[in-house]
Structure 1
Amino acid sequence: MTTADNNGPKPAANPPAFLVGSRPSFLEVVASHSSFKDRHAEQEKQEQPETESSLPEVNPLMGSTTRLEQFAKWSMAATLVSIFCTAWIAWSIYELHDFALRQAKSVSDSIEVSRYAILAANRRAEATEKNYDLAAETSRNQLRAYVSVLGISTQNAFEKNMASSLNYKNVGQTPALGLKTLVDAVIIPSAGSDIKPPRAYSASYNADSEPTVALGGGIAASDPITRTFKEAELEEFRAGTKLYLVWGAIYYSDVFGKNHYTRFCRYFKNGELSRWLLCQTGNDSN
């Protein structure tokens, strides 16, 4: 059995390029030599620093200055924008403040106008109420009872039992309710012109237990005055040295619940019983 002879020369693992394929040129043979490659690499390394050293050196401060300039420009721009915004905000605040002042003045004027309107309305209401009260009072005064004294008549003149009668009348349109008369008579000395009753009756009368009457509108009535006099008093009255005086009060209320009074004082002199005169005081009513 024939076997391959492996003991012969073996080819190199990495044969030079000029040994592979066709015949290489002299330059290729030289270039493929390892020593030539090493020298070529060293030359490139030596040439490379020279190339790098030939470039201009970059100053780091210049880059920082550029960045600072850019930052300053942006800062100035931001400052200008901030100033503009601040000015706009200030102007807006001023406008808002001015608008608020105008609104406040407008509201104040409106409130003042409303206040005057309310005052005017209140005055009109008060005037209307006063007119209503005046009209109601006028109506009540027109309809209420008025009791007036018509006169005094005398019977049995110059006798011991001489008596007089008080004549009065309700001249109003409605009845006089709870009517009560108080009358008295006396012979007094004639002393000057200031004739007044011996005592005055009050403006009110509170005697609920005593009987009273009602006097309709336009109705007249009379109450007798019974008084016993001495003959000497009657002679002095006849001679004119004394006066015959009748006074009193009439109390009543109207249909509207208001109390009234009529006080009177009349006197006769010189023995004339047909002509009576008014006293200086004691004649009033409400």
Structure 2
Amino acid sequence: MSKQAREQTVAFVGLGMMGGPMAENLLKKGHPLVVYDIDKAKVRRFVELGALGATGPADAARQAGIVISMVDTTAQAEEVIAGSDGFIQTGQSGDVVISMGTIDLMALRRLHPKLAAKGVELLDSPVTGMEKGAKEGTLNAYVGGDAAALEKVRPVLQSMATKITHFGAIGQGLAMKLINNMLFQVNRVLIIEGLALGAKAGLDPQQMFETISGTTGNSVAFQYSAPRILNREFDGIRMDITFKDVELQTQLAKSLGMPMFMANTALQVYQMARAQGLGDKDGVAVVQMYEQWTGVPVEGRK
């Protein structure tokens, strides 16, 4: 592969619920793409779509000048980026690594100098917009890191996101993402408590939803969560991922010496739900735990 071809190629590691559609949009926009995922069936599917398959993160980075990590956890990101088979092993001076998963920003900042020593720039660019935005290419990208590196990869990010905001130094994009997630994930617990309380008091959950939709209690979180609760739609973003996010929020506060009341309480609610076997369900499935406590279902009209 020529140097110019490598510089124009994008490597994408992590083809899950969000990463898969994001990588597809890169292909649709004409970016030469190399992919890797521990699920070999996902890699084969992308090869059929026109991408090149890699044998691991290092192999993916060997073939691309822009390298994306879209994995679930901090440990996975550290292994993909700086592990024994990570990007760092084959990255070249001038490359840009973009960490797009929601991970520990302190861990990400520790990776930054390791890559910099090889002349590789690191950006954090977590995204919001859920699976729908990933499929439609309408995500919001929250970027931290060097401004010049951002401009270099902007066309790649624009293939996946319609709004790209630079928040400053490395880790600042993650900080913004964690706060945005906190406002949604903590609010969802309160929404469930409110609906469960109303149902226990004898109110019709469907009528509650219709009423709150036109009042000061309404929110984006309410419009996402309440219909799913009423319709018993518990598939979606796994509660294990939600728990991971809220844990990161509380860890960040701890590292900064800041008390956190509501997020820590929500963390325990999600943990209780996971302990009851709901970890693979969307966070709205927490309502099932409240229904056990109240003895009253929170359902829409039949």
TM-score (norm 1): 0.21
More strand by share: 1
- Radius of gyration: which is bigger? 1
More helix by share: 2
TM-score (norm 2): 0.21
Q: Which has the higher contact order (CA 8 A, sep 6+)?
A: 1
